[in-house]
Each structure stands twice: as C-alpha cells, then as structure tokens.
C-alpha cells in the first residue's frame, strides 16, 4: 500500500521544486529603471548626508527612491540635475562646472557607492540606471547604459555589483567609483 501512494508524493514534490525554481527565477529578473521624473527634492535630513562639495548644488539635487517589490525604499540615488542647474544660471554662456558624482545611499544615509557619470545626464550623454538581480528585496546589480552622441557612441558600462561584506556597490573592473 505504501508503494501505491509514492507516485502522488513524487509528483507533488516535483511540482513544489518547479514552482520554487520559477518563482526565484522571476524574482531575479525583476528590474527597476530609474525615472528622473520620479525623483524629488532633498529633505532637510537628506541634505545633511551630503558633503561640502554638494553645497553649491543642493537646490538642483534630486533624490530617487529605489523600492523593492514590497514598496520599501532600499537604495537612494542622489544626483545634481544639470539641466536645472544650468537653466538657473544667469547670462547667455555659462561656464561648465564639475558636478559631484551621483551617490548611491542606503536609507540610513550611509554611502554605498557612486555612479561613473552624472544622472540623468552628463551632457551630451544620458545615463540609464537599472537596478537588477534582486535577492531578498535588495538589488545585487546595477546596470548602466550610456546614450552618447560622441565618437564612442551608445554603450553599456560595467555593472555595479553589491559587495555584501563591504556594503557597497562597485564595478568589478574598476573597483568603486567613490
């Protein structure tokens, strides 16, 4: 009698394994593309997280909340929106200035990395930032794609990978962008 009931148990176990594998595969494929239109002005608390190099640009800095599938903010992206900065400058010809590198922050304000180009644009190029490979509600990879009309052209950049030990995102090729 025991042997007769083993077949349904095997089928049930196989279904559980397949369902679990499919669910984890779907979770890994979840991607969040940062939309600059959804970024907000800095709060007073967020302003305190930024160093002195950011002070001249605080009015033009925006922060983008990267949320998990549970709608919890897990990473923040702070960057100077250069279009806002240059539009606010007086005169016809405005001298280009070096902007601080965009920062990746944990919700506590701790810096967890930086981007190699300004976001959303680093004239004349534009940077697309995609948070991918989510594990337990946190992205383990940031994919970067540069749209660039210059000679180098449009191209993917080295992804930033989460280092659990260091609590930082960094490129495996070049180390951290901090």
Model pLDDT for residues 100-111, shown as the tens digit of each residue = 999 999 999 999
Q: What percent of the chain stands above pLDDT 70?
A: 81
Bigger pLDDT: 122 vs 21? 122
Asked whether residue 3 is domain-assigned, the answer is no
pTM of the entire predicted model: 0.81
Please report, for residues 32, 51, 102, the alpha-carbon distance to residue 154 in angstroms, rounded to integers and kept in the order given.
20, 32, 20
Q: How many domains would you assign to the chain?
A: 1
**130 close to 70: Cβ distance less than 8 angstroms:** no
The residues with which 130 forms a beta bridge, in sequence order, are: 33, 143
**Residue 20: pLDDT over 50:** no
Asked whether residue 71 is domain-assigned, the answer is yes
Bigger pLDDT: 129 vs 18? 129
């Amino acid at each position: 009698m025991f042997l007769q009931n083993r077949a349904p148990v095997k089928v049930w176990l196989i279904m559980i394994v397949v369902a679990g594998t499919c669910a984890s595969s779907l979770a890994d494929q979840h991607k969040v593309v940062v939309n600059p239109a959804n970024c907000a002005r800095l709060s007073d608390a967020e302003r305190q997280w930024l160093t002195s190099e950011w002070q001249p640009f605080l009015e033009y800095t925006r922060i983008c909340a990267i949320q998990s599938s549970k709608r919890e903010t897990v990473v923040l992206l702070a960057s100077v929106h250069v279009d806002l900065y240059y539009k606010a400058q007086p005169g016809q010809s405005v001298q280009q200035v070096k902007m601080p590198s965009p920062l990746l922050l944990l919700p506590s304000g701790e810096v967890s990395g930086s981007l190699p180009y300004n976001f959303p644009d680093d004239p004349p190029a534009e940077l697309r930032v995609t948070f991918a490979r989510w594990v337990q509600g946190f992205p383990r990879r940031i994919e970067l794609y540069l749209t660039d009309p210059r000679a180098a052209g449009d191209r993917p950049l080295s992804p930033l990978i989460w280092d659990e030990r260091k609590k930082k995102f960094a490129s495996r090729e070049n180390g951290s962008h901090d």
